Amino acid sequence: MIRILYLFLGLSILITLHELGHFIAARWFKTRVEKFYLFFDFLFPFPGVMNFPLFKKQIGETEYGLGWFPFGGYVKIAGMIDESMDEEALKLPPKPDEFRSKPAYQRLIIMLGGIIVNVLLAFFIYAMILWKTGEESIPMKNAQYGFVCDSLAQSIGLKTGDKFLGYDNKKFEDATIPVVKDLLLDNAKVLHIEREGKTMDINIPESVYKAIIAGEGKTSFVKLAFPSELDSILPESPLHNIAQKGDKVIGLAGQPIQFFAEMGNILQQNKNKEIDIQLLRNNTDTIASKVKIGDDGLLKVAAKDITTYFKIEKKEYNLLTCFPAGVLHSWHILRDYVKQFRIIFSPELKGYKQLGGFAAISKLYPDTWNWLAFWNSTAFISILLAFMNLLPIPALDGGHALFTVVEMVTGRKPSDKFLEYAQMVGMVLLFGLMIYANGNDLVKWIFPK
């Protein structure tokens, strides 16, 4: 429920500000705006079906309202072919305050207004977060325990304890950024590691990436290694009456344990089973016991803070330096998101099968009240929303902008009839994509792997 509330609030903010960008640009160029709506007051993408708002109020020449269909929002700019598909108004002679009467460069700015606001919003949110919290990292050189490698990583020759240097002659800088993210997005071919003081190269076949994507997060590939020392044991933990704070797990289900991250895969393989566990207390006493693992595959224990084991580097920002840092952080987010398109459209990797809808987006938000995490996720989605709207698809801002740019280059304006058909095709495409993405969420919920 918290995630649903966060999603509703975050999207409401982003949609309202996106449409406000179009609204401000339109009014700047003295273009009449007939409607400003959060959510649609019709059954998208059918503008003539179930037309009613939950709330509306006329202020000046603009009707402000809240629609009943919680998919997006829109501003109805006079003389423009948009989601409302108001064909009758276009049959009348153009008026000076209509969109179609404005010069091409003004129409282009109006179309890009929402995208610009989304980008600026992300800049601002990231800047404020960096100003408040700074930026912490663990330099890869400080990851002295190396990494825990799961069965997939071990299948290509990696071993737990390996230290990662880089890939394809690029260096790893920050150990807190998942290694698998950089490898996957850059389609790395060779991983450079250090093992027992010797440097080695590990080849990464395409099949590894297919397995990571198909696994939907169930394979971590590698995780940062640190000692398996317990910091707290929840009351519902199977170790509640056995373990104490400071104990180290040294054996689980007959397998030796050195690092905390080694326990996860073993526990998942032993759901609803009774297994052996060995603990080391005060570095002298060994305690052996049996524990029953539940169907969640968890011990319900917490590790010590990783700052206990690693030297953390923290960079502070002031009101002057936080804004350039916010811009740079936003650029990195956008760059990584664009790289994902290779995965989505790759016939080998079949990333399109992992496309998700509102349920997937909601998982970007925390499941507890955490406003810092909320704003961080909202800034991330704002970047995604800006990029998606810039795609040259009819019905999206990018599609309208493309037609306008073509007009500016060729000197020929597309006919209203062509724009009407393009808008209809774009809306159907978007509706189909929405059904597919949310259908993926539904299938994963009904048939979990």
In the chain, residues under CATH classification 2.30.42.10 are 230-308
Strands 62-67 and 33-40: parallel
CATH of domain 140-224: 2.30.42
Tokens of 64: 């402000």
Distances (CA, A) of 66 to 41, 53, 58, 70: 7, 6, 12, 9
Phi-psi region of 114 (alpha: psi -120 to 50; beta: other; left: phi over 0): alpha
CA distance linking residue 23 with residue 26, whole number of Å? 5
Residue scoring higher pLDDT (120 or 415): 120
From the list 389, 398, 390, the residue with the least C-alpha distance to 422 is 398
Average of per-residue pLDDT values in the chain: 88
Q: Is 224 helix (H, G, I), strand (E, B) or coil?
A: strand
Q: pTM (2 decimals)?
A: 0.84
**pLDDT tens, position by position, 221-276:** 899 999 999 999 999 999 988 999 999 999 999 999 999 999 988 998 899 999 99
CB atoms inside a 10 Å sphere around CB 446 = 7
Between helix 104-133 and helix 2-28 the angle, nearest 10°, is 140
Residue 86, pLDDT score:
59
**pLDDT tens, position by position, 281-290:** 998 899 999 9
- Which fold is adopted by the domain 230-308? Pdz3 Domain (2.30.42)
CB within 8 Å of 379: residues ≥ 6 apart = 121, 122, 125, 126, 129, 330
